[in-house]
Amino acid sequence: MKIADIIETLDLKLISGAGGLQNEITGCYVSDLLSDVIGNAREGELWITLQTHQNIIAVASLKDLAAIILVRGLTAEEGTIEKSNLENIPVLTTTLDTFSVAGILYQLIKK
Amino acid sequence: MRTFRADLHIHTVLSPCGDLAMSPGRIVEEASRKGLDIIGITDHNSTRQCGITARMASAKGIYVMQGAEVTTKEEVHCLAFFENSDTLDSFQVYLDSNLPEIMNDTSKFGYQVVVDEDENIVYEEDKLLINALDKGMDEIESFVHSLNGLFIPAHIDKSKNSIYSQLGFLPAGLNADALELSPASLHNKFEEKHYEINNYQTIRSSDAHFPEEIGRVHTEFYIPQVSFREIRAALKGVDGRKTEIR
């Protein structure tokens, strides 16, 4: 499953990093503490968070994450958008809250 | 150059977590007893106790750096200081408009009051001051600098509400005038484990919530005389001016 495949199902809006839309998703990690993501997320995972600071791109790049989904309609900051485009790491936003988006993704990824 | 002792992170009775004994009078008295020349008044998300404290301190020959300890959207605590009442007031407007409309519960969090020279309550803040502003750290940094203020991420060695705990690591290109270490850094040797902070000036301050904590650590400023500009120049290392943590 690729990022491009879930955009419609989850009603996601792409904010930046279109270059990474063909990234393969291997799983999902949910956390708002960047040090926790550095320690525990695995390569190819989709990361659900409410953090919008540019450090999220550095973390996603370090851990080779597939993409970042921001919850509750949050938007990314300017620096985050710039770095996302540079690193080709898609940043998407959903109007859903963390519980809902994680629940839907769990069903999709388990199949 | 002369040496001036500074403790740039002190809470007053206005902070819900600040002890009720932390009136401007008591703070100035304690700072004077501890031999401090410069103190920072940094309540959570409010500058409203700065003016009164500055007036009282000045009578004792102590200079007050006026500002606040801001909580960013990421829940990073950052000190912000301003040179004059115009910029301080502009920042207060920014705080008021970006702090969520969630009210303080005095039974749970404590009182948030401004008191005057005679310990009379002159203002009570209704909104909960320990909340986070609806603005990210980078946005707040830009705003502080647009008012020609100083922006200093607070107690970076702490495991909560610090830039490291909330954002994992120092962001690339962070535009900070200094980084603040907590009293715990005397023992945890944070600066020896994080060489990247050597790219910044460091200060160490007490984060005092109780009178006896004032001045428990301090930073020395080597400057010709005390002013906001000289303090800024020391943080930039201009013409032999410098700071040293104690």
- Each residue of B161-202: pLDDT tens digit? 999 999 999 999 999 999 999 999 988 889 888 999 999 999
Q: Which helix (H) or strand (E) holds A69?
A: strand A67-70
The string of pLDDT tens digits covering residues A7-45 is: 988 889 999 999 999 999 999 999 999 989 999 999 999
Share of chain A above pLDDT 90, in %: 91
Q: Is residue A42, in this structure, part of any structural domain at all?
A: yes
Q: Is the distance from CB of A93 to CB of A15 less than 8 angstroms?
A: yes
**Which of B161, B169, B170 best tests the A interface by mutation, with the highest count of A CBs <10 A?**
B169
- The verdict on a CB contact (< 8 Å) between B136 and A52 is yes
Cα distances from A88 to residues A11, A12, A30, B135, B217, in angstroms, run: 21, 17, 21, 26, 45
Amino acid, res. A71: V
Q: What is the CATH number of the domain that holds A10?
A: 3.40.1390.20
A38: chain B residues, CB-CB within 8 Å: 168
Residues (pLDDT < 70) of chain B are none
Per-residue pLDDT at B176: 98
Residues A53-63 have a mean pLDDT of 96
Which residues of chain A approach chain B closer than 8 Å at the C-beta?
Answer: 33-35, 37-38, 51-55, 58-59, 77, 79
Per-residue pLDDT at B69: 98
Domains along chain B?
2-245 (3.20.20.140)
What total number of domains does chain A contain?
A: 1
- The verdict on a CB contact (< 8 Å) between A77 and B136 is yes
Domain limits for position A83: 3-98+102-106
Report the SS3 class of residue A44. Answer: coil
Q: Is residue A111, in this structure, part of any structural domain at all?
A: no
Share of chain A above pLDDT 70, in %: 99
B138: chain A residues, CB-CB within 8 Å: 53-54, 77, 79
Q: For residues A47 and A67, what is the distance between their CA atoms, to the nearest angstrom?
A: 6
Q: Is residue A51, in this structure, part of any structural domain at all?
A: yes
Cα distances from A21 to residues A1, A67, A107, B76, B213, in angstroms, run: 11, 8, 21, 32, 53
Closest C-alpha to A10, from A110, A111, A98: A98
Q: Is residue A40, in this structure, part of any structural domain at all?
A: yes
B168: chain A residues, CB-CB within 8 Å: 33-35, 37-38, 55, 58-59
Residues making up chain A, counted from first to last: 111
